Structure 1
């Protein structure tokens, strides 16, 4: 799997489409609207987000095509593709 991930990320990087990628840790805290802090991470429908990748794409469809090669799909996982909205000062 490690080699698959290296190839997947490397191929995107070679095309100069990779901005950043991070694997998320397994420890976390949740803060609710009343500022109560609890241990753990959000698990919805028995699924968690395990990492993220920001790529340069001209369209959502182009990003989807890149995501179709993700090794997580071979492991039975899913990939979610979203646009991002840069924060402005």
Structure 2
């Protein structure tokens, strides 16, 4: 195995889609378990996190209790994995269950701060 880099998959979904998903959570939960197990079986999984429904946004002028959204999409969670290439990570991202419910996956290489 060559030089492995770390990549983060950032999951976004609209508020309206997320409300619908919560009603069918059991089925989607099983899809997520299979997806994460597939990545772990390849010994690529570093970390996975689902974010809560509560957030505090702090700016220089204010502190607000809200989940930020951009174009009605908010971050729902993330997954960090190891891979040699971004192309391989994109193939993995295309299998993500969030795509089945109208969400998106953003792929980024992480940079270690030394």
TM-score, reference length from structure 1? 0.91
Larger RCO (alpha carbons 8 Å, 6+ apart): 2
Corresponding residue for residue 13 of structure 1 = 40
Q: Which consecutive unaligned segments of at least 5 residues does structure 2 have?
A: 1-27
Separation (CA, whole Å) in 2 of partners of 1:11 and 1:23: 18
CA-atom RMSD, angstroms?
1.0
Query: Which structure has more strand as a fraction of its residues?
Result: 2
Q: Equivalent residue of 2:67, what SS? A: coil
Residue 39, structure 1, aligned to residue 65, structure 2: yes
Separation (CA, whole Å) in 1 of partners of 2:93 and 2:81: 10
Residue 87, structure 1, aligned to residue 87, structure 2: no
Separation (CA, whole Å) in 2 of partners of 1:56 and 1:20: 10
State how many pairs are aligned. 87
TM-score, reference length from structure 2? 0.72
- 4+ aligned runs moved over 6 Å, structure 1: none
Q: Which consecutive unaligned segments of at least 5 residues does structure 1 have?
A: none
